[in-house]
Amino acid sequence: MVHALGEIRRVLSPNGALVDLRPLLNRWPVEVSWSNGFDEVGRATDLIEPLADDAAANAAMAELSSSGALSCEGEEEFSLFYYWDTPKEMETYISENWSDVIAIEDPVWVNLRTSWASAGADARVRLRMKMLIACYREQNPGQSS
pTM: 0.83
For 56-115, the three-class secondary structure string (H helix, E strand, C coil) is HHHHHHHHHHHCCCEEEEEEEEEEEEEEECCHHHHHHHHHHHHCCCEECCHHHHHHHHHH
pLDDT at 4 over 80: no
Please report which confidence band the pLDDT of residue 141 belongs to, taking 50, 70 and 90 as the band edges: low
Contact, 72 vs 135, CB < 8 A?
yes
Structural domain boundaries of the chain? 2-138
Please write the tens of the pLDDT for every residue from 30-47. 999 999 999 999 999 999
Please report which confidence band the pLDDT of residue 145 belongs to, taking 50, 70 and 90 as the band edges: very low
Please write the tens of the pLDDT for every residue from 55-83. 888 888 888 788 877 888 999 999 999 99
Please report which confidence band the pLDDT of residue 18 belongs to, taking 50, 70 and 90 as the band edges: confident
**Contact residues for 34 (Cβ-Cβ < 8 A; gap 6+):** 119, 120, 122, 123, 124
Q: What pLDDT was estimated at residue 109?
A: 98
